[in-house]
């Protein structure tokens, strides 16, 4: 689930913390890094559980409509098919998934009144009413309505407040989590262990992320020696903290990760500078890294291995 870009962001955040607070030791930083990685997967599960709980609320809505003293024709026709369909059932009846929810105590984050309000807002949508009225819904109909439900949720102010209270890094992980939820819905009905495909992998988390973090931390002075001549009229102390961190990370990738193409690394860090630093950072970081790539290549310090990587 986690891409290298997401891991780079988490490593950048940890290095920034170390630069701002010299009292934080490396073991604490490594622990926080791993915690942030795990929280991203937990964030996916949080979103999935919310989607499931709102869908399941259709059953409560059905009972309420049927129990009215004078139910309308619409009330009598209503069925909780948002929950009672093969696609959502593959999630709602997934015992392995619920064991994971229970292990992380995710149920405790939700109150029934919140779920009711989410569902009530969604139930007013014409698309949902049309879905309910349609006698023979296709699998695609079910996927479309579940995706619409999720879209409605993540644009809801209550949802935004709820998720930011529990997961402060929501904005950093939002695009990844939303994409994974959409992928999950489109693949329904799911296998019991489908979520394992989204668990953090050692290759991305340890071999790439942790190694990158450790190498940058260990080689601070050496990296600064490489960078300083390329700054020209700039004093290293005047370079934005995030810019310097990103440049150090990029150099470490150029030199230490032979399987990652140089152009990929350069483009990734320029993009991160654009998003996380100052208005001028994108051009500044791009210019510095361009010069450093040439310098490191000429010095034989950048050595790429693997098909299609040599010279890249």
- pLDDT of 269: 98
Report which DSSP code applies to 70. S
Q: Which residues contact 229 (CB under 8 A, 6 or more apart)?
A: none
299 class by beta-carbon count within 10 Å (0-12 exposed, 13-18 middle, 19+ buried):
exposed
Residue 85: strand, helix, or coil: coil
Which domains, from first to last, does the chain contain?
4-198 (no CATH), 219-298 (1.10.940.10)
Report d(CA 290, CA 170) in Å as an integer. Answer: 32
What is the per-residue pLDDT across 19-57, written as a single tens digit (0 to 9) for each? 999 999 999 999 999 999 999 999 999 999 999 999 999
> How much of the chain, in percent, has pLDDT values that exceed 90?
87
- pLDDT of 307: 47
User: Which tokens sit at 58?
Assistant: 């259709």
50 neighbors 145 (Cβ within 8 angstroms):
no
217 neighbors 33 (Cβ within 8 angstroms):
no
- pLDDT of 312: 54
Q: Mind giving me the DSSP string for 206-270?
A: IIIIIHHHHHHHHTHHHHHHHHGGGGTT--GGGS-HHHHHHHHHHHHHHHH-TTS-HHHHHHHHH
Q: How confident is the model at residue 235 (pLDDT cuts 50, 70, 90)?
A: low
Report which DSSP code applies to 310. T
159 neighbors 153 (Cβ within 8 angstroms):
yes
Q: How confident is the model at residue 74 (pLDDT cuts 50, 70, 90)?
A: confident
> pTM for the whole thing?
0.89
Lowest mean pLDDT among 91-105, 185-199, 226-240: 226-240
233 class by beta-carbon count within 10 Å (0-12 exposed, 13-18 middle, 19+ buried):
exposed
Q: Evaluate the omega torsion of the peptide bond into residue 310 and state whether it is cis, within 30 degrees of 0.
A: no
- What is the widest separation between alpha-carbon atoms in the chain? 84
Region 186-207 average pLDDT: 95
150 neighbors 51 (Cβ within 8 angstroms):
yes
246 neighbors 221 (Cβ within 8 angstroms):
no
Q: Which residues contact 171 (CB under 8 A, 6 or more apart)?
A: none
Average pLDDT, the chain: 93
């Amino acid at each position: 689930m986690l891409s290298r870009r997401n891991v780079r962001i988490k490593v950048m955040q940890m290095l920034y913390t170390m630069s701002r607070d010299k009292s934080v030791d490396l073991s604490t930083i490594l622990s926080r890094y791993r915690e942030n990685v795990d929280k991203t997967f937990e964030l996916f599960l949080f979103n999935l559980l919310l989607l499931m709980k709102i869908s399941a609320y259709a059953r409560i809505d059905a009972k309420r409509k049927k129990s009215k003293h004078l139910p309308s024709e619409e009330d009598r026709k209503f069925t909780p098919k948002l929950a009672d369909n093969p696609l959502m059932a593959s999630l709602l009846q997934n015992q392995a998934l619920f064991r994971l929810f229970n292990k992380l105590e995710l149920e405790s984050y939700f109150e029934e009144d919140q779920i009711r309000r989410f569902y009530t807002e969604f139930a007013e949508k014409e698309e949902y009413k049309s879905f309910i009225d349609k006698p023979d819904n296709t699998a695609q109909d079910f996927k479309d309505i579940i995706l619409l439900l999720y879209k409605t949720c993540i644009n809801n102010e209550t949802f935004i407040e709820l998720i930011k209270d529990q997961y402060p890094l929501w904005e950093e992980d939002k695009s990844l989590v939303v994409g994974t939820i959409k992928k999950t819905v489109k693949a329904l009905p799911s296998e019991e262990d489908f979520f394992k495909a989204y668990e953090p992998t050692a290759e991305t988390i340890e071999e790439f992320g942790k190694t990158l973090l450790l190498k940058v931390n260990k080689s601070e002075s050496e990296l600064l020696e490489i960078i300083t001549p390329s700054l020209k009229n700039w004093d290293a102390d005047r370079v934005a903290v995030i810019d310097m961190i990103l440049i150090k990370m990029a150099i470490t990738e150029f030199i230490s990760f032979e399987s990652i193409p140089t152009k990929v690394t350069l483009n990734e860090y320029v993009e991160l500078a654009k998003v996380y630093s100052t208005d001028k950072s994108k051009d500044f970081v791009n210019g510095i890294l361009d010069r450093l790539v040439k310098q490191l290549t000429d010095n034989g310090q950048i050595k790429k291995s693997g098909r299609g990587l040599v010279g890249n």
